[in-house]
Amino acid sequence: MTGEPNWMAVVIVVAVAIVGLIGWIIWRKGQPFAQGDVFRASRMASHNHLFPIQVLITSTSVVQHVPRWIGKQEETVHMAHIASVKVNTHLMLSDVLIETSGGSDSIRCHGHHKGDAVRMKELIEQYQTAYYRSHQPQNPAQAPSPVQAQN
């Protein structure tokens, strides 16, 4: 019986390798997908058990990143197109609804910790304020008229 492979041992090694690979994929997909202010939903929330949804908030946009077994789904909304941000707190976790203008779908983020949900709203409001301050149109009374500009 020496020289014959122990099929039970081979099956166990292959099974452990497959489980290890699946565990590594689940762990890897749960890591932050970008640098900066990334907020990850809790794995305790529904639809977030394996691959928690993540939200990146930058000075110019909000990106919702939904990992999949193969690939990902991302939705980006520019700060200028965010109409409102609602935070709905529950007993343990909170939901964030980022409503958009211009006909695009809202971004729904379920299962964030309360502190993260409040911080997300604060960041969006802060970045919107900075964006609109830097993109204010000139006051027509202060702008030179076309006749003055030619002289």
**In whole angstroms, how far apart are CA 87 and each of 18, 30, 104, 122, 127?**
40, 23, 19, 11, 17
Q: Is residue 54 part of a domain?
A: yes
Q: Is residue 74 part of a domain?
A: yes
Range of the domain at 80: 7-135
pLDDT tens figures, 112-121:
899 999 999 9
Q: Is residue 145 part of a domain?
A: no
Top mean pLDDT of 16-20, 72-76, 130-134 is at: 16-20
- Per-residue pLDDT at 94: 92
Q: List the end-to-end C-alpha distance of the chain, in Å, as a whole number.
A: 104
- Per-residue pLDDT at 69: 83
Total domains, the chain: 1
Whether the Cβ atoms of residue 76 and residue 63 lie closer than 8 Å to each other:
yes
- Per-residue pLDDT at 119: 92
pLDDT tens figures, 21-74:
888 887 777 777 778 888 988 877 776 667 888 899 998 889 998 888 888 888
Q: Is residue 150 part of a domain?
A: no
Q: Is residue 149 part of a domain?
A: no
CA distance 24 to 46: 21
Q: Is residue 143 part of a domain?
A: no
Q: Is residue 52 part of a domain?
A: yes
CATH number at residue 57: 2.30.29.30
CA distance 116 to 122: 10
Closest to 43 (Cα-Cα) out of 107, 112, 117, 91: 112
